[in-house]
Amino acid sequence: MFTRGNFFMFIALFSIVFTLNVFAEEATTEEDMFEEDIIKTSSGDLKITFIGHASVMFTFNGKIIHVDPVFREADYNKMPEADLILITHEHGDHFDLEAIKTLRTEKTEIILTEICATEVSGGIVMKNWDIKTVGGFTIEAVPAYNIVHKRQNGNPYHPKGVGNGYIITFGDKRVYLAGDTENTPEMKELKNIDIAFLPMNVPYTMTPEMVADAATAFKPKILYPYHFSNTDTSIILELLKGEEDIEVRIRDMP
């Protein structure tokens, strides 16, 4: 029998459940929506958050690094503010002034290219092959450009000398984010890369065959294809299935 006492008990329970749901929703951040991997390093855990396309976030020893943050991939109003931001080049799927403004604080360091620096004040310009220590991290700029894929006017989608890939050192781990590039000679000569993010979509970057060619040359221990759009990622798995020293990890990074 539903009594007055039962009624008030029901109201009380409903209020508790509602309050807990509200707290749970508030505790859930934009960061929680994305896949994450934890990599052990000599200086602690490196957390990789796979945001989408070319946007990646690293968490290491209490610091937050955002690479190519763009609002089309996440609501950066709900993401952790940056200690360091790296921008590979000026194209809109990598360079978003609003995302930079949202993540930036008075202490945020920004590494970018010469072209991007014309639109962002106070950044640190890195040219191909520059090496700098910024925010306690060693950063190396690697050339990122097209050799084969070109626009109708004959110009490459990404000319040589303009864009960067970056190698970031976390403890004893070297992480390479290639940016928009093909399997260049410079890429294939890289050494001691533990983790590599290689783009895999045509005509702007690489085919799976190009990715496989580069990976077998410099042999990253872990390979994350990214920026892959509608490319069938099973192809790269098949191409590299005999490479026991390279672990291919597919994450949600179209």
- Whether residue 10 is predicted with pLDDT greater than 70 in this model: the reply is no
- Whether residue 253 is predicted with pLDDT greater than 60 in this model: the reply is yes
Kindly state the average pLDDT of the residues 159-188.
98
- Whether residue 25 is predicted with pLDDT greater than 60 in this model: the reply is no
- Whether residue 18 is predicted with pLDDT greater than 70 in this model: the reply is no
User: Pairing relation of β-strands 84-86 and 63-67?
Assistant: parallel
E runs forming strands in 61-170: 63-67, 84-86, 109-112, 124-125, 131-134, 137-144, 163-170
Tens-place pLDDT, residues 199-235: 999 999 999 999 999 999 999 999 999 999 999 999 9
Provide the whole-model pTM. 0.88
Tens-place pLDDT, residues 80-122: 999 999 999 999 999 999 999 999 999 999 999 999 999 999 9
The Cα–Cα gap between 157 and 118 comes to: 20
CA–CA distances in Å: residue 167 to residues 88, 134, 137, 175, 213: 11, 12, 10, 5, 19
Kindly state the average pLDDT of the residues 139-152.
97
Chain centroid to CA 35: 12
Q: If DSSP codes are grouped into helix, strand and coil, which group holds residue 35?
A: strand
Q: What count of other Cβ atoms lies within 10 Å of the Cβ of residue 244?
A: 7
**CA-CA-CA-CA torsion sign (218, 221, 225, 227):** negative
